[in-house]
């Protein structure tokens, strides 16, 4: 009897182990890497682009060159549920069509919101029918050599490709060519191939710690990424409500990071600004705007984006040991003229109106786009300004801008209002830029070229 009981017990234990082992094996399969990918994947966007090009050699040899379409690819990271996506500048610059494929397979047309060529970053937007999942943001301030990381992207057009590796080095400076260089990059041995550009470099928590850039052709196990802390500061500038909404808050802040903790600390408050009137003070830690948590300057700008002038929004701050809720209402942005420190800009702005300034510097007279002409503007642009006159001796005329063209962009920004154009000049002139790129709609075509700012300014001065 005893032997029988022992034998039965052994059989029962074997059966129990057999039925339990598949569950146990499944738990072993779902590693930290798998969980990180599951968490981040819904916020990764596969980007496909098209542009039209003409072979210059064919133009000179036959004089009858036909344009051809060039397809491009890249990756993006969703930073806001309204469809705002960060990617690389080189992925979406100077293309005719951008399409973003979401994690669920939906393919949507995207438009460029803002570009930063110097730092190789861009913001694009898709109009989805639902709120999109935002990529969890980590910090690059405490990355460690040897720390495991994951790259996700549209490698060679194979959407959703995942590779893994470690952080090989930090603070790398890389010069690609005479016009493009990078500072403070993360180096990894995770494979970052063409098409990965603009995608996330993840930590094992499934948080983005870098924006991938594919820049070393033929290199094996050497990839680079822009640290997310650097990228978020640029995103905050590109998504500034002053530029995108023509609204103004007057808060100057700094991002503070300690380990995994990120917070936005008020540095200064401009006098008589909405932030000053709300009672914000230097040293305050901004915790929330309405129901949105704020961890850095990008969160602050995104939380205020699309809010109209005069709308009161609650701002929760930590002041010492106390939490306070303040009320702030955005004001109209007046182009920043009273706040610009540059003497050159102050002198250039000493015109009676923006219109006179545009005529003097650009050689253009501009007017708001009439409703009946909005159909002429492709859907990837939000609008523009109509060219009503072109000064005959101006670089605008020399470079082919004509009366009745629709100006949709200058440099890396859209031109919906006079304030947009003035803001772009304010950014360009103090930097000593000799020219700015322009984009115009003529008939059904989008044309671009360059206006020589210095020459335009000199040509308009009395001799």
- pLDDT digit string, tens, across residues 93-145: 878 889 999 999 999 999 888 888 889 999 999 999 899 999 999 999 999 99
* DSSP bridge pairs for 387: 366
Q: Mark whether 343 and 449 lie in a shared domain.
A: yes
Residue 450: which domain range?
A: 337-460
Q: Please, are residues 318 and 266 in contact by the beta-carbon 8 Å criterion?
A: no
**Annotation marks residue 197 as catalytic:** yes
CA distance 212 to 195: 10
Q: Mark whether 351 and 452 lie in a shared domain.
A: yes
Count of helix runs (H) and strand runs (E) in the chain:
13, 26
Question: Mapping DSSP to helix (H, G, I), strand (E, B) and coil, where does residue 31 land?
Answer: coil
Q: Mark whether 399 and 429 lie in a shared domain.
A: yes
Which pair of tokens denotes residue 357?
């300034």
Identify the pLDDT of residue 59.
41
- Whether 291 is in a domain gets the answer yes
CA distance 164 to 145: 14
CA distance 196 to 99: 15
- Whether 309 is in a domain gets the answer yes
Token pair 């401009």 is found at: 270
Q: What is the DSSP-derived secondary structure letter of residue 130?
A: S
- Whether 432 is in a domain gets the answer yes
- Whether 431 is in a domain gets the answer yes
State the first-to-last Cα distance of the chain, in angstroms, to the nearest integer.
Answer: 119
Question: Mapping DSSP to helix (H, G, I), strand (E, B) and coil, where does residue 80 land?
Answer: strand
If we measure between CA atoms, which residue out of 130, 122, 117, 133 comes closest to residue 47?
122
* DSSP bridge pairs for 74: 47
Helices marked H in 156-261: 228-238, 241-244
Q: Could you tell me where the beta strands, DSSP code E, fall in 130-241? A: 148-155, 158-175, 181-188, 200-202, 208-213, 223-227
Q: Mark whether 342 and 453 lie in a shared domain.
A: yes
CA distance 211 to 60: 40
CA distance 109 to 92: 12
Domain boundary among 285, 300, 332: 332
Give the alpha-carbon dihedral of 235, 236, 242, 248, to 10 degrees. Answer: 170
Other Cβ atoms less than 10 A from the Cβ of 164: the count is 18
If we measure between CA atoms, which residue out of 105, 145, 111 comes closest to residue 127?
111
Q: Mark whether 423 and 372 lie in a shared domain.
A: yes
Q: Please, are residues 235 and 137 in contact by the beta-carbon 8 Å criterion?
A: no
Q: Mark whether 405 and 363 lie in a shared domain.
A: yes
CA distance 409 to 395: 16
Domain boundary among 315, 332, 349: 332
Which tens digit of pLDDT belongs to each residue from 331-351? 987 654 333 333 333 433 443
Q: Do β-strands 44-53 and 208-213 pair in parallel, antiparallel, or remain unpaired?
A: unpaired
Q: Mark whether 355 and 447 lie in a shared domain.
A: yes
Q: Mark whether 380 and 306 lie in a shared domain.
A: no
CA distance 229 to 216: 23
- Whether 388 is in a domain gets the answer yes
Catalytic residue among 120, 230, 354, 405: 120
| Residue 60 half-sphere exposure toward CB, CA atoms < 13 A | 2
If we measure between CA atoms, which residue out of 136, 255, 153, 264 comes closest to residue 203?
136
CA distance 213 to 87: 9
Catalytic residue among 48, 80, 90, 253: 90
Question: Mapping DSSP to helix (H, G, I), strand (E, B) and coil, where does residue 386 land?
Answer: strand
- Whether 170 is in a domain gets the answer no
Token pair 């344009």 is found at: 67
Domain count, the chain: 2
**Residues of the chain where predicted confidence (pLDDT) is lower than 70:** 1-26, 53-67, 215-219, 334-352, 429-435, 453-463
**Annotation marks residue 90 as catalytic:** yes
Domain boundary among 275, 310, 332: 332
Q: Mark whether 370 and 403 lie in a shared domain.
A: yes
Which pair of tokens denotes residue 72?
């491009």
Catalytic residue among 191, 197, 240, 253: 197
Q: Please, are residues 224 and 192 in contact by the beta-carbon 8 Å criterion?
A: yes
**Annotation marks residue 404 as catalytic:** no
CATH code at 315?
2.30.42.10
Q: Mark whether 358 and 420 lie in a shared domain.
A: yes
- Whether 115 is in a domain gets the answer no
Q: Is the pTM of this model over 0.75?
A: no
Question: 363 vs 368, 415, 456, CA distance in Å?
Answer: 17, 16, 7
Give the alpha-carbon dihedral of 174, 180, 184, 186, to 10 degrees. Answer: -70
Q: Please, are residues 240 and 427 in contact by the beta-carbon 8 Å criterion?
A: no
Q: Mark whether 345 and 417 lie in a shared domain.
A: yes
- Whether 379 is in a domain gets the answer yes
């Amino acid at each position: 009897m005893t032997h029988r009981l022992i034998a039965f017990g052994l059989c029962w234990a074997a059966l129990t182990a057999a039925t339990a082992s598949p569950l146990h094996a499944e738990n072993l399969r779902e590693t930290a890497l798998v969980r990180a990918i599951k968490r981040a994947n819904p916020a990764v966007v596969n980007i496909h682009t098209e542009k039209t090009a003409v072979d210059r050699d064919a133009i000179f040899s036959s004089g009858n060159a036909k344009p051809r379409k060039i397809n491009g690819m890249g990756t993006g990271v969703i930073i806001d549920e309204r469809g705002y996506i960060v990617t690389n500048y080189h992925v979406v610059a100077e293309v005719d069509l951008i399409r973003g494929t979401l994690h669920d397979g939906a393919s949507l047309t995207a438009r460029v919101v803002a570009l930063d060529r110097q730092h190789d970053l861009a913001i694009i937007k898709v109009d989805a029918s639902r709120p999109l999942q935002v990529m969890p943001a980590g910090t690059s301030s405490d990355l460690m050599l040897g720390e495991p990381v994951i790259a996700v992207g549209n490698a060679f057009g194979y959407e959703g490709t995942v590779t893994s590796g470690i952080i090989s080095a930090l603070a790398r400076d890389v010069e690609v060519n005479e016009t493009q260089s990078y500072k403070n990059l993360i180096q990894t041995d995770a494979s970052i191939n063409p098409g990965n550009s603009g995608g996330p470099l993840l930590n094992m928590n499934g948080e983005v710690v870098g924006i991938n850039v594919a820049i070393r052709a033929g290199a094996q196990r050497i990839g680079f990424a822009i640290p997310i802390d650097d990228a978020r500061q640029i995103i905050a500038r590109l998504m500034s409500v002053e530029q995108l909404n023509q609204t103004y808050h007057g808060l100057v802040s700094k991002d503070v990071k300690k380990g995994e903790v990120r917070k936005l600390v008020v540095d200064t408050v401009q006098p008589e600004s909405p932030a000053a009137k709300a009672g914000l003070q230097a040293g305050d830690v901004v915790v929330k705007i309405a129901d949105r948590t704020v961890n850095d300057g990008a969160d602050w700008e995104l939380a205020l984006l699309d809010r109209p002038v005069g709308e009161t929004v609650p701002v929760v701050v930590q002041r010492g040991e106390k939490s306070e809720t303040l009320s702030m209402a955005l004001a109209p942005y007046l182009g920043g003229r009273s706040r610009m420190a540059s003497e050159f800009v102050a002198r250039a702005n000493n015109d009676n109106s923006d219109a006179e300034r545009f005529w003097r510097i650009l050689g253009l007279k501009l007017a708001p786009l009439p409703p009946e002409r909005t159909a002429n503007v492709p859907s990837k642009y939000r609008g523009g300004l109509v060219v009503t006159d072109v000064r005959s001796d101006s670089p605008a005329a020399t470079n082919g801008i004509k009366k009745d063209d629709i100006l949709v962009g200058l440099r890396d920004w859209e031109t919906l209002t006079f304030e947009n154009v003035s803001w772009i000049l304010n950014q360009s002139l103090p930097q000593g830029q000799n020219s700015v790129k322009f984009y115009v709609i003529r008939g059904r075509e989008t044309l671009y070229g360059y206006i020589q700012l210095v020459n335009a300014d000199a040509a308009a001065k009395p001799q």
